[in-house]
Amino acid sequence: ISSVELTQQFLERIRQEDGKYNSFITITEDQALADAKAADEQRAAGNATAWTGIPFAHKDIFCTNGVRTTCGSKMLADFVPPYDATVTENFRRAGAVSLGKTNMDEFAMGSSNESSHFGPVTNPWGLAKGEKRVPGGSSGGSAAAVAARLVPAATATDTGGSIRQPAALCGVTGLKPTYGRVSRYGMIAFASSLDQGGTMARTAEDNALMLNVMAGFDPKDSTSLDREVPDYTATLNEPLKGLRIGLPKEYFSDQLSPAMEEQVRAAVREYEKLGATVKEVSLPNAKLAIAAYYVIAPAEASANLSRFDGVRYGYRCDDPKDLMDLYTRTRAEGFGTEVKRRILVGTYALSAGYFDAYYLKAQKVRRLIRQDFINAFSEVDVLMSPTTPSPAFIQGEKTNDPVTMYLEDVFTIAINLAGLPAMSVPAGFVDGLPVGLQIIGDYFSEARLLNAAHQFQ
Ligand code: GLN
């Protein structure tokens, strides 16, 4: 099959099916077909990589030269970047064919994709039962598109769980790499010390193929780390005999439904059959992660989002009276409710007089959380837990209760605070809805995580 044929088939599927899911914000049909044609020529000339001519999609947070990049916001609804993110450029160079940009929570703030200016995304598994359930967020468009087989793979980002939680809720495989492994250049910033680009696809093997393209040092990102990039597919079949698994007891708490717990424990038993050993470990400060995150992430967001002022780019209000009117009305009209809530919280936490009590304190807690993981990894190779406390919930159920929404990330957020890599892998169903197994690794252990996930699939 040629890339043009393959691309046409996926575009056709998107046209027919995405009305139900709303997983795409922008579909770049003409560009995709032109790229596919060029890829077929490359292949004919013998210059193919593993990605030449393969269709995929980008979360609409990665800047794409000449293609609208909205970040799910009215603020950027008409923004066409004049440059590519490094991740975008890497896929382009490998010959991959982007079909468009996937839906997401506004500025990646959310766990349900309901804060998107472009409307909510509907979970394909929920719809199969005749129910309108959330796909998770913020990378809900990428997760739903992969789950509904509209694309074989999609990029995503994870600041507090936004790859793993939607992957779990949509029954696909997602990887959040070590902080610094994938360049953040051209990835619209939410909380810069936590944001990390990563991968979403049906299998661990496809995630490995994606990471092969995405990972690596980038001089344009000052937090990018200069470490060798292994071939992540090379070790997928290594035996797991002797793998030491730790189960953090704080992640098997009463927040977890018994049916979910049973699925996760069954997955762990499969690993034991493959020769792994299992022991309980403790992350005593994990319970502080949500509180610390909801100081640090909004604080960084309030600084990052100050650039959207109606002057440089993005939305601008009509007929401003003066500069102050331009700023205030542009931001009042351009940002949605959740984004405004975060800016207010963040500005407050950083203000003189409160900085020590909130921001500095949260940074100290962050350090303790990191130390818990370092201690755990002196005893075990990987940690396993549920990805989320429950399966996909009904749309609208948590929209008026931000704190309940924030608890969606109770098992994922500490990993971002520590900067560690982690995956969510499909591990069965509860009431016909997918459940995710979270596998957490030490710094730069992506190859081991992919290996463990692959052996389970
Ligand atoms: N749900 C979390 C939040 O709303 C995490 C989002 C993310 O990882 N981008 O901040």
* pLDDT, tens digit only, all 457 positions of the chain: 999 999 999 999 999 999 999 999 999 999 999 999 999 999 999 999 999 999 999 999 999 999 999 999 999 999 999 999 999 999 999 999 999 999 999 999 999 999 999 999 999 999 999 999 999 999 999 999 999 999 999 999 999 999 999 999 999 999 999 999 999 999 999 999 999 999 999 999 999 999 999 999 999 999 999 999 999 999 999 999 999 999 999 999 877 889 999 999 999 999 999 999 999 999 999 999 999 999 999 999 999 999 999 998 999 999 999 999 999 999 999 999 999 999 999 999 999 899 999 999 999 999 999 999 999 999 999 999 999 999 999 999 999 999 889 999 999 999 999 999 999 999 999 999 999 999 999 999 999 999 999 999 9
pLDDT at 254: 79
Residue of 61, 111, 139, 338 with the most ligand 1 atoms within 8 Å of its CB, for mutation: 111
Which atom of ligand 1 is nearest the CA belonging to 190? 9
- Counting from 1 in the atom list of ligand 1, the atom nearest the Cα of 110 is 4
Q: Would you say the CB of residue 186 lies under 6 angstroms from ligand 1?
A: no
298 within ligand 1 shell (Cβ under 6 A) = no
* Residue indicated by tokens 């990378």: 139
For the Cβ of 158 lying below 6 angstroms from any atom of ligand 1, the answer is: yes
What does pTM read for this prediction?
A: 0.98
Nearest CA to ligand 1 atom 5: 160
| 111 Cβ below 6 A of ligand 1 | yes
pLDDT computed for residue 252 by the predictor: 94
* Residue 404, C-beta contacts closer than 8 angstroms, at least 6 positions apart: 398
For a mutational test of ligand 1's pocket, the pick from 104, 116, 157, 159, i.e. the residue with the most ligand atoms closer than 8 A to its C-beta, is: 159
* Domain 1-457: assigned CATH number: 3.90.1300.10
Residue 106 beta carbon below 6 angstroms from any ligand 1 atom: no
In short, whether 159's Cβ falls inside 6 Å of ligand 1 is yes
Hey, where are the domains in the chain?
1-457
Any ligand 1 atom below 6 A from CB of 139 = no
Specify burial of residue 399 (Cβ count, 10 A radius: 0-12, 13-18, 19+).
Answer: middle
Q: How far is the CA of 16 from the centre of ligand 1 (A)?
A: 30
Q: Residue 356, Cβ neighbours under 10 Å: how many?
A: 9
Q: Tell me the CA distances in angstroms from 301 to 95, 282, 307, 339, one per residue in order.
A: 34, 31, 11, 9
**Looking at residue 18, what is its pLDDT?**
98
- Give the number of the atom of ligand 1 that is nearest the alpha carbon of residue 163: 8
Residue 272: what are its φ and ψ, rounded to 5°?
A: -65, -40
Q: Report whether 337 contacts 109 (CB < 8 A).
A: no
Q: How far is CA 99 from CA 145, 313, 353, in A?
A: 11, 25, 49
pLDDT given for residue 19 in this prediction: 98
Write out the catalytic residue numbers. Answer: 59, 138, 162
Q: Verify whether ligand 1 is closer than 6 Å to residue 409 (CB atom).
A: yes
Residue 255 has a pLDDT of 79
User: Counting atoms of ligand 1 from 1, which one is nearest the CA of 297?
Assistant: 10
pLDDT of residue 228: 96
- What is the atom index within ligand 1 of the atom nearest the CA of 159? 8
Q: Is the CB of 110 under 6 A from ligand 1?
A: yes
Pick the residue whose CA is nearest to atom 4 on ligand 1: 110
Packing angle of the helix pair 204-214, 86-93 (nearest 10 deg): 110
pLDDT at 308: 97
Q: Tell me the two tokens of residue 336.
A: 């949605």
Q: How many CB atoms lie within 10 A of CB 443?
A: 18
Tokens 């044609």 correspond to 37
ipTM comes to 0.98
